[in-house]
């Protein structure tokens, strides 16, 4: 059996400093090794091999219910290289493999999927964080010999340094569990931006799939490969209006015999002395192999005279199967269904396809002060988040958005939230996520069984961001200030939606040169509304979280890391490109 790609998960090491296998440590209610395997399976790439060594029986018991193959590295004490080789030699025939460790707490299926999406254009790809390459990493089969030749005590990084490598950003991959303190630090109140993003991705349920009519499938993404049901074109045909002949070097005079128009089912047969009038898309007459365009022909009655000095055999002829042959891959899983892609499928007679379907989303706006129209009373403000977030969701492919408004009343909020969790895949609440006396979102969510994944991120704006889950439904609590809510959507929810829907990778981040000084204190990652053009970026005014004035002009956010004190004019900074 030949599959595209396999995944090798290394879970063989000893970690006596913990008193048990490091990979069995539990975070967010699941062991590190089990989470890694589940994410690898959710990526839907290919077979998953788990390499065991120390604590093999305990790990096997922990993952016994997962559809993976476990292999034992009897020489696990020699190091990671020995486990890589055992895993590689246990895979079925594949054209690439991904190597991962089992103890990265923030690993998610999107990392595996992003690595795989770079293949086969890139024969090697690696996760990157803080400028370093690391695991998970992908290798094409041309590197399998090198993998089998690495020293037992080494990892695969030495091979990555030998060729062209595509780097896949995974900043949360820098979180290594090397000490007890490292593990305990996972349970702090505040998370970094990269840790929060990784946890959201980690808890995503893979996108649902549905069969739909081609006419309804615009902007969806294919969830399975589509192979051609027959050859296309299904017969040899002309690509020009002109005359079909049997090519003979130097022959220019022919006698007219019949005509072939598009859609005809009548055969015409010609010999070397004859030419047949033909039109674009029509089948070639029997015996013909070349078409001369009508502008290169003089016709007098039944006589056909060619005056094209550059006639070549086979010109202006579309061969049977020249578009795609029967059984060949026509469109691959993950293809975005553009108008051209839909036309291509329609031209093959395909009328139904299977696609990834977007989540159903409930959007709950909270606050007694919110007014949707009419005259403002004292203390009231017009609600602005609903239109921004609903349109932002729809622009990323969400079809069903149920918008609800809720006062600052915990009992009403609980009822509303309960109803939304039952009918929606995602529930997004706006406002009420902080710790004020009338901020009821977190207490209401906990009382109806929503498990808190995190609450509070070291960022500005959007520090009180909440993320939780009940069964398969996700709940996100966004700050009520419009700039904060929109920034959190772009940084976290937009990439998550694209990942769920298998949309093509988007380069959200890039480098740019700062046009003026921007100073900030250490401690929080700042997202600064800005204008980006020709490699330069200008921070805008009106950065307060309640203000949308600058957001309407911004096409980028300058990302200033929490450990920095800002940046000076001329320095390169990271920016997030807004849609």
Provide, rounded to the nearest whole percent, the portion of the chain with pLDDT above 90: 74
285 phi and psi angles, rounded to 5 deg: -65, 155
pLDDT band, residue 437 (cuts 50/70/90): low
Separation of alpha carbons 109 and 136, rounded Å: 11
Mean pLDDT, residues 238-245:
96
Mean pLDDT, residues 70-91:
95
Q: Could you tell me where the beta strands, DSSP code E, fall in 481-547?
A: 509-514, 518-519, 525-533, 536-539
pLDDT band, residue 505 (cuts 50/70/90): low
Instruction: Report yes or no: 89 and 68 within 8 Å, Cβ to Cβ.
Output: no
The count of residues in the chain is 579
Name the least confident of 76-85, 151-160, 275-284: 151-160
Listing DSSP states for 44-94 in one string gives: T-S-EEEEEBTBHHHHHHHTTTSS-EEEE-TTGGG-HHHHHHHHHTTS-EE
pLDDT band, residue 361 (cuts 50/70/90): very high
User: How many C-alpha atoms does 433 have within 13 Å on its Cβ side?
Assistant: 27
pLDDT digits (tens, 9 = 90+) for 250-285: 899 999 999 999 998 888 999 999 999 999 999 999
Query: Which is higher by pLDDT, 545 or 359?
Result: 359
pLDDT for residue 101 is more than 80:
yes
Q: Residue 531 burial (CB < 10 Å; 0-12/13-18/19+)?
A: middle
Mean pLDDT, residues 549-565:
94
pLDDT for residue 331 is more than 50:
yes
Sign of CA dihedral 51, 54, 60, 66: negative
For helices 32-42 and 109-117, give the axis angle rounded to 10 degrees: 40
Two structure tokens written together for 238: 């002309």
Two structure tokens written together for 27: 């975070």
pLDDT band, residue 145 (cuts 50/70/90): very high
Mean residue pLDDT of the chain comes to 91
**Span between the terminal Cα atoms of the chain, in Å:** 42
- What angle is formed at CA 507 by the lines to CA 504 and CA 510, rounded to 5 degrees? 175
Name the least confident of 159-163, 515-519, 573-577: 159-163
Select, from the ranges 163-177, 492-506, 555-569, the one with the highest average predicted confidence (pLDDT). Answer: 555-569
pLDDT of 178: 78
Buried b (16+ CB within 10 A) or exposed e, 437-458: eebbbbebbeeeebeebbbbbb
Separation of alpha carbons 60 and 38, rounded Å: 14
Mean pLDDT, residues 519-525:
96
Query: How does DSSP classify residue 373?
Result: S
525 phi and psi angles, rounded to 5 deg: -75, 130
pLDDT for residue 374 is more than 80:
no
pTM of the model: 0.84
429 - beta bridge partners? 364, 477
pLDDT of 506: 66
Mean pLDDT, residues 155-184:
87
Instruction: Report yes or no: 569 and 554 within 8 Å, Cβ to Cβ.
Output: no
Separation of alpha carbons 477 and 441, rounded Å: 8
Residue 529 burial (CB count, 10 A): 26
Q: Residue 374 burial (CB < 10 Å; 0-12/13-18/19+)?
A: exposed
Using DSSP, state whether 169 is helix, strand or coil: strand
pLDDT of 2: 42
pLDDT of 1: 32
127: left (phi over 0), alpha (psi -120 to 50) or beta: beta
In the chain, the domains with their CATH numbers are 2-187 (3.90.550.10), 208-231+323-357 (3.90.105.10), 237-318 (2.170.190.11), 361-500 (3.40.980.10), 509-577 (2.40.340.10)
Sequence-separated (6 or more) residues with CB below 8 Å from residue 91: 6, 8, 47, 49, 97
């Amino acid at each position: 059996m030949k599959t595209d790609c396999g995944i090798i998960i290394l879970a063989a090491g000893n970690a006596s400093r913990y008193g048990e296998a490091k990979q069995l440590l539990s975070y967010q209610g699941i062991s590190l090794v089990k989470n890694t395997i589940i994410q690898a399976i959710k990526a839907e790439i290919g077979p998953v091999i788990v390499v065991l060594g120390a604590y093999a029986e305990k790990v096997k018991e922990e993952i016994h219910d997962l559809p993976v193959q476990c292999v034992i590295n009897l020489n696990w004490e020699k190091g990671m290289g020995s486990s890589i080789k055992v895993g590689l030699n246990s895979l079925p025939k594949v054209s690439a493999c991904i190597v991962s460790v089992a103890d990265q707490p923030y690993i998610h299926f999107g990392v595996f999927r992003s690595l795989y999406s770079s293949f086969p254009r890139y024969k090697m790809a690696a996760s990157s964080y803080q400028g370093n390459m690391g695991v998970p990493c992908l290798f094409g089969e041309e590197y399998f010999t090198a993998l089998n030749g690495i020293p037992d005590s080494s990892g695969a990084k030495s091979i990555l340094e030998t060729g062209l490598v595509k780097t896949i950003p995974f900043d949360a991959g820098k979180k290594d569990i090397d000490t007890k303190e490292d593990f305990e630090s996972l349970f702090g109140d505040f998370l970094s931006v990269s840790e929060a993003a990784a946890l959201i991705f980690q808890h995503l349920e893979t996108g649902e799939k549905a069969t739909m009519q081609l006419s309804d499938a615009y902007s969806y993404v294919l969830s399975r490969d589509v192979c051609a049901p027959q050859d296309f074109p299904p017969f040899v045909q002309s690509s020009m209006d002109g005359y079909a002949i049997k090519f003979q070097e130097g022959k220019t005079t022919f006698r007219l015999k019949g005509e072939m128009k598009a859609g005809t089912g009548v055969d015409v047969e010609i010999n070397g002395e004859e030419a047949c009038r033909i039109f674009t898309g029509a089948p070639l007459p029997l015996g013909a192999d070349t078409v001369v365009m009508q502008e290169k022909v003089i016709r007098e009655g039944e006589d056909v005279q060619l005056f094209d000095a550059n006639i070549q055999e086979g010109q202006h002829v579309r061969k049977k199967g020249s578009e795609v042959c029967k059984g060949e891959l026509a469109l691959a899983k993950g293809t975005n269904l553009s108008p051209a892609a839909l036309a291509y499928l329609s031209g093959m007679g395909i009328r139904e396809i299977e696609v990834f379907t977007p989540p159903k989303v409930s959007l709950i706006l909270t606050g007694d002060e919110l007014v949707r129209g009419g005259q403002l009373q004292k203390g009231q403000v017009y609600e602005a988040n609903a239109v921004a977030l609903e349109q932002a969701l729809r622009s990323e492919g969400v079809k069903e958005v149920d918008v609800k408004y809720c006062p600052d009343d915990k009992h009403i909020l609980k009822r509303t939230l309960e109803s939304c969790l039952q009918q929606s895949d995602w529930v997004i609440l706006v406002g009420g996520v902080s710790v004020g006396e009338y901020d009821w979102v977190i207490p209401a969510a906990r009382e109806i069984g929503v498990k808190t994944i995190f609450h509070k991120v070291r960022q500005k704006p959007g520090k009180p961001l909440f993320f939780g889950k009940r069964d398969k439904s996700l709940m996100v609590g966004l700050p009520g200030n419009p700039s904060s809510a929109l920034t959190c959507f772009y940084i976290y929810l937009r990439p998550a939606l694209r990942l769920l829907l298998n949309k093509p990778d988007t380069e959200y981040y890039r480098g740019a040169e700062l046009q003026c000084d921007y100073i900030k204190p250490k401690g929080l990652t700042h997202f600064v509304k800005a204008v980006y053009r020709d490699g330069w970026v200008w921070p805008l005014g009106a950065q307060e979280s309640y203000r949308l004035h600058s957001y309407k002009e911004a096409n980028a956010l300058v990302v200033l890391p929490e450990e920095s004190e800002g940046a000076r004019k001329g320095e390169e900074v990271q920016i997030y490109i807004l849609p």
